[in-house]
Amino acid sequence: MLFEILPDPRALVATKGEVADQVLQIHRTIPEDVPVGHFEVGGIEVIDEVVSRPVYLGWIQQACAALGDRLEVRFYDHFEEEFDASVLDHLHGIRRLSIDGLPGLRYPEAVGRLPKLTSLRFGPHRVDDAKILSAVGVHRLVHFTLAGTPTPAIDLSPLADASSLRSLRLLGYGKNTEAIGHVTSLSELALQPSSKFSLEFINRLVSLESLKFVLGNATSIRSIGALPALRDLSFREVRNLEDLCDLQRFPCLRRLQLSDQPRVTELHVGRRNEALEHLYLYSVPRLHALKGFSMLPAVKSLFAYDSRLDLPWAQLPPTLTHFQLMAKAVKGRDAHDAEVRARGLTPAVHPDSVFFYK
């Protein structure tokens, strides 16, 4: 079923009190006569009014002016139609923009003309020009997400000039990935590691606080040396990953996450991890050794699901408050949790141990 109505931008603007982040989602080309409405129970469309296209675009502009960075304008789906980005020439107030799940787009240079744009999520299924990042003006962004791998693969070299970029999420592959090494302003990087390129460029990101590996097929992060500001490190479904090396080379590391990593057999932490507080390990069936855990000076929690870890009670650090080794089988969990409580610990995931993995 193709829904016809579009959301009312005026409804996003609260008249009183603090306003949470809002998303205006536009799933189709904005027609000359715009049906504005809502859904009732059962998904029934109700048209509240029909306004002209200029009036509707004016409402979006007003919402952008009122909400600023708290409003994301999202163009998505459009079924079999390409997204005509020239509509953005009438929406110069947009600061946060998402263009994703679309077959393709025309006039991408209109994105580059948005004078206030700071955040872009970009994920069309197809691009006609591998150098499209130059057209959309990625060099002036503060936050950028590549949401997928378009065909042909996008040239990432324009990122080298993005001197204000703070967060970069590459949820797909591109070409010239090593250009990211020039973006020394980055504090957050999410990346699909590949055996086709070296991770050595990450060593130049001296301001990096959060590093997240999502999917990909790297076997090791040995080429990544000391990152002086790194606080959060995560790995999720990175195929073939085996070798993390000694994690003491990250002296400010506070949180470590491993999820769905079937080949990792051991982790090495220790006394030099002075800030490490939380280890969250999920579905690591071959992990049998956690070297140096007893020497961690500030650790608060360890959660491990589906692992082979078996840590002696006497070797648990005195700073630990949350501890749970959850077996894949349900049998025996209650007994383990009861013993954890009897020793004055909480058998649960610490609320501060998990962070967004992308």
**pLDDT exceeds 70 at position 231:** yes
- Do residues 282 and 256 touch, judged by C-beta distance below 8 A? no
pLDDT at residue number 79: 77
> Residue 195: what pLDDT?
85
- Cβ atoms of residues 189 and 180 within 8 Å: yes
- Is the pTM higher than 0.85? The answer reads yes
Per-residue pLDDT, averaged over 128-137, amounts to 92
Q: Tell me the pLDDT band of 153, cut-offs 50, 70 and 90.
A: confident
Answer positive or negative: Cα dihedral of 162, 168, 174, 179. positive
Residues 218 and 240 sit within 8 Å (Cβ to Cβ): yes
Distances in Å between the Cα of 141 and the Cα atoms of 67, 96, 133, 204 are: 19, 10, 11, 20
Domains in the chain: ranges and CATH:
1-186 (3.80.10), 202-358 (3.80.10)
- List Cα–Cα distances, 22 to 14, 73, 108, 343, in angstroms: 11, 9, 24, 45
pLDDT band at residue 149, thresholds of 50, 70 and 90? confident
SS (H, E, C) 128-196: CCCCHHHHCCHHHCCEEEECCCCECCEECHHHHHCCCCCEEEECCCEECHHHHHHCCCCCEEEECCCCC
CB atoms within 10 A of CB 263: 15
What is the per-residue pLDDT for 174? 87
The type of residue at 140 is: R
Residue 1, pLDDT score:
40
Closest CA to 231 of 353, 322, 144: 353
Structure tokens at 219: 């076997």
- pLDDT at residue number 150: 77
| Residue 27 burial by Cβ neighbours in a 10 Å radius (0-12, 13-18, 19+) | middle
The Cα–Cα gap between 266 and 273 comes to 16
Give the chain's mean pLDDT: 93
